[in-house]
Amino acid sequence: MKHLADVDPEIASLIQQENVRQHEKLRLIPSENYASAAVLEATGSVLTNKYSEGYANKRYYEGQQIVDQVETLAIQRAKALFGSESANVQPYSGSPANLAVYYAFCRPGDPIMGLALDHGGHLTHGWGVSITGDFFTPIRYQLHPETHLIDYDMMRDLARKHRPKLIMAGATAYPRIIDFQAFADVAKEVDAVFCVDMAHIAGLVAGGAHPSPVPMAHVVTTTTHKTLRGPRGGMILMKKSHAKAVNKAVFPGLQGGPHNHTTAAIAVALKEASTDDFKAYARKIVENAKHLAECLKAKGFHLVSGGTDNHLILVDVSKRGVTGKPYAKAMDRAGLVANYNTVPFDPRPPMDPSGIRMGTPGATTRGMGKPEMEKLASWMDRVLANVENEDALEKIRLEVKELCAAFPAPGVVV
Ligand code: DSN
C-alpha cells in the first residue's frame, strides 16, 4: 500500500493494524471469512471508477465495453454454480437484495412471513425496526420450544391463516439444515412467492455441503462474503419467469449504479467456488463445526438444538453462569472473535443475551482442522473460568496468536 501510505498515513496505518488484528486473532463470527488475495485485488481495481446504471447492453452511460463483459461473466458463473435460470449480481449486499425481492412482489401493507429475529431470522425478514417490518405486515414463525428446530407446523398454520404474499426461509443464527421443500409446499398451497435468503450457507450450497434451495424457491437471495468467501456484495438467483420483475426492482427500483469492482470480485469468488478445492473446503467447514460442537459439549457447554449441521454453533453460556456479552468480550481479549447472540426464547435483552454465536468458515479457510477445534474448545472453557482475569486471558491470547501464526489467513498481509 505504498501510495496509500504516502497520501494518507493515518488510514494506511489503521489498515495495517487491521491486517495484524486479523492475522493474530481467530475469526469465529460465522458470517465472516477471509477473501482470497485475488478477490481483494479485483475489489481494489479501477472498475470502481465506472458508472453502469442498467444491465449489459442496456446501459445509460457510454464506455461499458469492459464492464458488460465483467457483469455477464459474473451472471454466467452464478447460474452455472448454483444451477439457477437467472441471476442478478448488482445488489449492494444482502439487505438490499431482500428489499428488492419484496419490492418486486409485494406492495406496502402486504403480509410477509419470516423467521423471528430472536429465533435466528434476519432483520430484513420482517423485524419491526427494519423497513421490512414497518412497510409490510410481518408474520413471524418461530422455533419449536423443545427441539429448537424451525416449527414447520407453526409456519404452515400461520401461512394458512394470514396468506402471506411472500414466505422467506433462511436464517442468521440457525445451526440446522432447513427443509426447503416444506416451505415450498406451504408457499404453493397459499399461493405465496417463496424466497430463500441463503446468505449464511451459500458457500455450503455451492460446495454441496448443504441442500440447495435453488430448485424449490422462486427466488434466492444471498450475500457473497460469508461462507461463499467473496467480496462484500449480494446476488439474487431466480426462475426466468421472475427475472424481469426482480431486475426492475434492483434497478431502477432500488439502486443506482452497480459497484463494478465488486461485481468483478464476485465473478472471481464464483470461479474459486466452482473448484474441487472449494467443495472440500465446504465439507471441511461442516466437519470442523460438528467436531467443535462435540468438543464444546464434552467441556460442559450447552448448545442450542444440541449441535450443528452447518457452519454455525449457538452456545447458551448463561447455563454456565455468565452472559453472552461479557463472555464474547472476554473471548475477544483472548484472541477469539465471536459475537454475543440471543438464544431461542431468551429471557435476556439483545444487548446482553444468554448466548454467543460462532462458526468455522474462517478457521477452515486458514486450514485448521480437528486438532485446532479441540484447542479452541479448551480455550473457550478457560475463558469461561477467567472472564475477568486479564492475566489468564492474555496468556490464552498469546497461545491463540501462536496458532494463528502457523495458519496464516489468505489475503492478510503482515
Ligand atoms: N450481519 C450478518 C450476520 O452476521 O449474520 C447478517 O446480516
Q: Which atom of ligand 1 is nearest to the CA of 29?
A: 4
Task: Tell me how long the chain is.
Answer: 414
Beta strand residue intervals within 253-351, DSSP E: 312-316, 336-337, 339-341
What cell was used for 262? 465488486
Catalytic residues: 51, 53, 197, 223, 226, 232
Q: Count of alpha carbons within 13 Å of 361, Cβ hemisphere only?
A: 28
What cell was used for 301? 457447554
Q: Which has the closest alpha carbon to 114: 124, 106, 102?
A: 124
Give the position of cell 467480496. Answer: 231
What cell was used for 290? 460438528
Q: What is the pLDDT of residues 230-277, one digit of tens each?
A: 999 999 999 999 999 999 999 999 999 999 999 999 999 999 999 999
pLDDT at 71: 98
Domains of the chain, CATH where assigned: 40-273 (3.40.640.10), 285-406 (3.90.1150.10)
Q: Which atom of ligand 1 is nearest to the CA of 200?
A: 5
pLDDT at 289: 99
Q: Which has the closest alpha carbon to 30: 332, 337, 354, 352?
A: 337
- Report the distance separating Cα 169 and Cα 268, nearest Å: 27
Query: Atom 5 (ligand 1): residue with closest C-alpha?
Result: 172
226 φ, ψ (degrees, to nearest 5): -90, -120
Pairing, β 234-238 against β 312-316: unpaired
Taken in order 280, 380, 25, 350, the sign of the CA dihedral is positive
Angle at 332 between CA 120 and CA 171, to 5 degrees: 15
Check: CB of residue 175 under 8 Å from CB of residue 304. yes
Q: What is the pLDDT of residues 372-400, one digit of tens each?
A: 999 999 999 999 999 999 999 999 999 99
Angle at 25 between CA 235 and CA 364, to 5 degrees: 50
Query: Atom 4 (ligand 1): residue with closest C-alpha?
Result: 31
**Over residues 305-326, mean pLDDT:** 98
Query: Atom 2 (ligand 1): residue with closest C-alpha?
Result: 31
The response to whether residue 31 sits with its C-beta less than 6 Å from ligand 1 reads: yes
Quick count: other Cβ atoms within 10 Å of Cβ 341? 26
Q: Cα-Cα-Cα-Cα dihedral of 372, 412, 339, 286, to 10°?
A: -50
What cell was used for 313? 454453533
Check: CB of residue 288 under 8 Å from CB of residue 373. yes
pTM for this one?
Answer: 0.97
Q: What is the pLDDT of residues 78-115, one digit of tens each?
A: 999 999 999 999 999 999 999 999 999 999 999 999 99
- Report the distance separating Cα 43 and Cα 387, nearest Å: 39
Q: What is the pLDDT of residues 138-179, one digit of tens each?
A: 999 999 999 999 999 999 999 999 999 999 999 999 999 999
